[in-house]
Amino acid sequence: MLESKTQEFERGSAGTKMMVTLVVLALIGHAGFNYIPVAYEGESVKSDMNTAVLQGLAMPGRVSVIDNVKGRIQKTFAVNNIPADAVLEVKQAGNNLTARVAYQKTVNILPFGIYKYNYDFDHTATPTGFLLKQ
């Protein structure tokens, strides 16, 4: 008699565990589906910024280096869905050229807006390598 009561209570436990597991996997998948593209865009902007600064430093003397680098980075903004309110600063001091981009994007981690993550991007690109050696 005692064994049959125990079996009655254990009847639905496998289905419940399976549902909980599927819900957790769905939430993780949803978070990844929304976060990964934003993080990829951020890394792509970093790469493009580093390239623009390095190429801007190698430009011939008559071209406006700052305008050239700003133009290249602004093209990257359009391709990578960067917000219009992003901060873009390009500065040149002697042989040194730096570009800084900062913006914030809201990412829905949990469905229905239950939890939103603020992705903060702030990167300063400075050229490195043989172009800086005297």
- Structural domains of the chain, count: 1
Encode 84-120: b = buried (16+ Cβ within 10 Å), e = exposed.
Answer: eebebebeeeeeebbbbbebebebbbeeeeeeeeeee
The mean pLDDT value for 16-31 works out to: 95
Q: What is the pLDDT of residues 30-43, one digit of tens each?
A: 999 999 999 999 99
What confidence score (pLDDT) does residue 57 get? 83
Query: Which comes out higher in pLDDT, residue 72 or 127?
Result: 72
**How many beta carbons lie within 10 A of that of residue 131, not counting itself?**
12
The string of pLDDT tens digits covering residues 60-100 is: 777 788 999 999 999 999 999 999 999 999 998 877 889 99
Residue 73, domain extent:
2-132
Position 1 scores a pLDDT of: 52
CA distance 53 to 69: 6
The pTM score is 0.81
